[in-house]
Amino acid sequence: MSKAILSRIGRLEAMASAKKGPRPLHWIVAHSQEEADAKQAALVASGTVSEDDNFIYRIITGVPRSQEGVA
């Protein structure tokens, strides 16, 4: 992640904690937005995390490959 993005996240977290107190930060790694949303919903439903916690999604996608020359 770039330094600019991490800096922006830090500023947003500081503003959020000033308003409602510090909230835990959770990273969710998934292959699609829908999968990440489902993982977050499952964590909230299980009581492991709060809906008000901060979440960062990391979406992993494959790089499309050309089919030329493939038998």
Region 5-12 average pLDDT: 85
φ and ψ at residue 56, rounded to 5 degrees? -120, 125
What is the C-alpha to C-alpha distance for residues 57 and 41, in angstroms, rounded to an integer? Answer: 13
The confidence band for 50, taking pLDDT boundaries of 50, 70 and 90, is very high
Q: Is the model's pLDDT at 6 over the cut of 80? A: yes
Burial class of residue 53 in the structure, from the number of CB atoms within 10 Å of its CB (0-12 exposed, 13-18 middle, 19+ buried): middle
Strand ranges in 1-71 using DSSP code E only, listed in sequence order: 25-30, 54-59
φ and ψ at residue 8, rounded to 5 degrees? -65, -40
Domain boundaries, the chain: 23-62
